[in-house]
Amino acid sequence: MLPPGIVAAESDFYLRRLWGLPHEDLTSQPRYLVTFTVGINQKENIDACVKKFSGNEFEWSKTAIHISVRKQTKWWYAKRFLHPDIVARYDYIFIWDEDLGVHKAGEEALNLFRITEERPGWCSDPHLPPCAAFVEIMAPVFSRDAWRCVWHVIQNDLVHGWGLDFALRRCVEPAHEKIGVVDAQWVVHQSFPSLGNQGEATDGKAPWQGVRERCKKEWTMFQSRMANAEKDYFKSLQVEGSSNSTATTI
């Protein structure tokens, strides 16, 4: 169940910091957006407007869509470029971190996502993994229907997505049957320093400290928003139920 008050229905292309407070991120909010659709032969025509960097080092790069923005997180990209209506042609949406080691994952991994039965609710012993273990949300895979709900839960200004994993259960029913851990295939967290180095050193604090503080603040803010959204939702149901009862009595 997803309370309407938590739905972040709109997004934007404004860049946000990875530290500080969300409401202090935007010093300006441009109202005009200029885009270019340019082929390889037209590069010189727009050289005065944009510098194009060739990304054809890898073969897959030739058929990929490249979006380059400085110092943003995967959830920032997901909210702005992976709207459910845009990705509706895909059965599954992979939102993976950049520092995953997949050398141990086999080709059959994709099929396992469809049939996985590693469901936490079915653990033989609740004190052993995966029931008692923590699964970091580094390589989530969403079905098309689930993503339509998850996208709305992603808060536009909370770019780190902390706390989001605890809300995913609201997007499927029953959650203990629809959410699984594919432990037959595993990936490695290679811990490349990325987001932590994107912060800003202030008041004698290292850049990564500001980023971590922002993460924790966002988690608290998300929890508060969800709680308030639920409260408002249930209150509206009570008012609606009371109105229907009154109408019936009359």
Spell out the domain ranges in the chain: 4-20+70-249
Alpha-carbon gap, residue 151 to 156, rounded angstroms:
10
pLDDT computed for residue 121 by the predictor:
54
User: Which three-class secondary structure state does DSSP give residue 142?
Assistant: strand
The residue written with tokens 């869509």 in the block is 65
Beta bridge mates, 92: 143
The pLDDT value recorded for residue 203 is 83
pLDDT single digits (tens) 35-74: 554 555 655 654 544 443 345 555 555 656 678 787 888 8
Q: Are 163 and 218 in contact (CB under 8 A)?
A: yes
Question: What confidence score (pLDDT) does residue 234 get?
Answer: 94
The predicted structure's pLDDT at residue 53: 38
Identify the helix (H) or strand (E) that includes residue 111: helix 109-115
State residue 205's pLDDT score.
Answer: 84
The total of other beta-carbon atoms located within 10 Å of residue 193's CB is 9
User: Which residues of the chain register pLDDT less than 50?
Assistant: 37, 46, 48-54, 117-118, 120, 248-250
The pTM for the full model equals: 0.74
